[in-house]
Copies of this chain bind each other. A is one copy, B any other.
Amino acid sequence: MVPHLITALSGPINELEARVLESMPAIERWFRLEWMEHTPPFYTSVDLRNAGFKLAPVDTNLFPGGFNNLTLEMLPLAVQAAMAAIEKICPEAKNLLLIPEAHTRNTYYLSNVQRLVQIFTQAGLNVRLGTLDEEIKSPSRLALPDGSELTLEPLLRTRGRLGLKDFDPCTILLNNDLSAGIPPVLENLHQQYLLPPLHAGWAVRRKSRHFQSYEEVAKKFAKLLGMDPWLINPLYGQCGQVDFDEATGLECVQGHVETLLAKIRRKYKEYGIGEKPFVVVKADNGTYGMGIMTVHDPKELDDLNRRTRNKMSVVKDGQPVSEVIIQEGVPTYERVNGAVAEPVVYMIDRYVVGGFYRVHAERGVDENLNAPGSGFVPLAFAESHQLPRPGAKPGASAPNRFYMYGVIGRLAMLAAAYELEATDPEAEIYE
């Protein structure tokens, strides 16, 4: 189930949405069976794009920030899901060590950390913060906008365990996506649960590998509902030897752009969609909305200006980009107060715990919204008269449009579960 949040959509529900809503029992059962075979990531946020004719995930974050953008009414739901997660992993746990991003005093991010501390404290754990910042040698306080503060403490590593002074956790929760690489202090922690696992970090993870798993999941799901998987699956290609700075390896990118645009054009024709196809080129290990460009024509890559080349050549923590994913662009046709908006769905364990709209007043429907100037609009719970009520007369209750976002969000989360199993360096191989 998915909480009923008020979406920005207000038109009639389309065919895809109607099919998802009427198949709810079959969909929930399918998820239950998938979770018997696969372990959900500890927590996940998924950026969605809703074009009306197509609804697809465009990014799946396994170290989600932004929990502070969920409404406080969602907190009990997050806490209950956190309790379920902890029960499975480490029921005897007393302590949780949370490792946030290092080197940031961004108060939005710190408010996210504060919210995570609140969620896991209310789930019944002693929560303390350890930092990967080696400059921090003693407990260090950071002020928050609401007048409260967070204390970051230096990590203490022994042979087999990681902790803080007088603090030995059962579980270590990373809210640091490891873009800068895997710090040795986190390696070989076989006596504790380190979640998400190291290979979920951007030092190892690749978006293209995720979308390979997502394609598999989308095909299974589409078969269940008897529909074309393309309606929920963004097409993609991948290039491994690109240097935007030196403008080398771009032929590979151009080739994929051309192929993808042709495929999208065919699909648009098949469905009678009068849109101009576009693709999005992204760093294959990028995050924070860095290293992303929209392309409508392969020729645009012939003569990239300096600004674009710079933008595309490094991502977070100054990591150079050499691998890129070329992904079908899905326009977003949702708007909040006139600004282009995309929904973001938050999950803890297998449960949807909330969502919000990322909005950007200065961006177009075919552009990345995760950029300076973006804002967040929390999705409120629907009022009681808007809740779907079985047995109610037609029209007496509104459909839960957020349900579909919760379904697609969970499909992306399931894909991440497939992905992490397939890429686990310590997986045992049975042949």
Contacts and interface: CB of A to CB of B under 8 A. Distances in A.
Interface of A: 1, 3-4, 24-29, 31-33, 35-36, 72-73, 75-77, 79-84, 86-87, 91-94, 114, 117-118, 121-127, 144, 146-151, 351, 381, 384, 387-393, 396
Contact of A148 (B1, B144, B393): B393
A148 B392 contact: yes
A392 to B, nearest CB: 5
Contact of A32 (B36, B87, B147, B390): B87
Contacts of A146: 389, 392
Contacts of A81: 80
A92 B29 contact: yes
Listed residue (A91, A93, A124) with the most chain B CB atoms within 10 angstroms of its CB: A124
A117 B390 contact: yes
Given A76-B3, A92-B32, A25 B387 contact: no
A403 to B, nearest CB: 9
A148 B25 contact: no
Contact of A4 (B76, B381, B391): B76
B73 A124 contact: no
A77 B79 CA distance: 10
A199 to B, nearest CB: 27
A36 B124 contact: no
A373 B3 CA distance: 35
A366 B350 CA distance: 45
Nearest to A115: B389
B149 A27 contact: no
Contact of A29 (B1, B82, B94): B94
Given A1-B80, A92-B32, A25 B391 contact: no
Contacts of A80: 1, 77, 80-81, 351
Nearest to A150: B391
Contacts of A147: 392-393, 396
A381 B73 contact: yes
A1 B150 CA distance: 22
Nearest to A126: B25
Nearest to A384: B72
Nearest to A151: B391
B387 A33 contact: no
B390 A25 contact: no
B35 A87 contact: yes
12 contacts: A1-B82, A3-B76, A25-B94, A25-B124, A25-B125, A29-B91, A29-B92, A36-B91, A73-B381, A118-B389, A148-B391, A148-B392
A81 to B, nearest CB: 7
